[in-house]
Amino acid sequence: MRESNVRHPPLSLWPEWSHWRIQSKLIENGCPPEKIHILPAGVRMEEHPPVPLEERDPFLVLSVGRLVDVKGFRYAIEAFKEVVKRVPQARYLIVGNGPERLMLEGLIRSYDLTGSVELAGEKVDQEVMALYQKASIFVLPAIVTEKGTEEGQGLVLQEAQACGIPVVASRIGGIPEGVLDGTSGFLVPPKDPSTLAEKIIHLLEHPDLRKKMGEGGRTFIQDRFTMDSLAEK
């Protein structure tokens, strides 16, 4: 998670204040669906410049988010057991901090992934942007928790796509609204390390697809999630 210069609500609050969660509650309480218009959080494209594929680390997989259960990072770490069997050079970097850090560190050790998976701690915006510019794949393995909490928009997905990174994310909450499955990345079932690993491996092994999806994602964000277009709406 970014430090004090973050311009949007803390990541830990997004699931509870999801636009899609509020929409469902409004409909449950009698509001006609046709009267509801959702404007998601947007990105400034000029702050998320793309970087050519050849200038990126071809083996770096990135996640950004609070280390809390709803983010599902334990499943991505488990998936990486399979990833490194096929692509030994692959590295997974998780940026953020939170109450699950010790548990995730234990998983990394137990899966013998110490040299392949790193918990990088908190970073400020500029540091996160530098990682967006370096990574080749972005992952958000979110889940629905036992309490029913789930990911809202997942703004990091839009930031990553704006930078031209293909994404792999769970098909839950508001996430499908912000990812073009098969065009800007892949949507996978939650709590499914096997499918998650399969998609990550596929992207790592196919640079042409990474480039195509990265370009598709940036176009998608340009069309749907820019601050200027949302302000006009």
Domain ranges of the chain: 56-232
pLDDT in tens, 195-216: 999 999 999 999 999 999 999 9
Top-confidence residue, 9 or 199: 199
CA distance 132 to 68: 21
* Strand boundaries in 51-128, DSSP class E: 60-64, 91-95, 117-121
pLDDT band at 75 (very low <50, low <70, confident <90, very high): very high
How does the average pLDDT of the chain come out, rounded?
Answer: 86
What's the rounded mean pLDDT across residues 39-51?
71
Q: Looking at residue 19, what is its pLDDT? A: 58
Put simply, whether the predicted model's pTM sits higher than 0.75 gets the answer yes
What phi and psi values does residue 180 have, to the nearest 5 degrees? -95, 100
pLDDT in tens, 146-202: 988 888 777 899 999 999 999 999 999 889 988 999 999 999 999 999 999 999 999
Q: Which of these, 228, 41, 2, 55, lies nearest to 152 by C-alpha position? A: 41
User: Which CATH number is 56-232's, of 3.40.718.10, 3.40.50.11540, 3.40.50.2000, 3.40.630.30?
Assistant: 3.40.50.2000
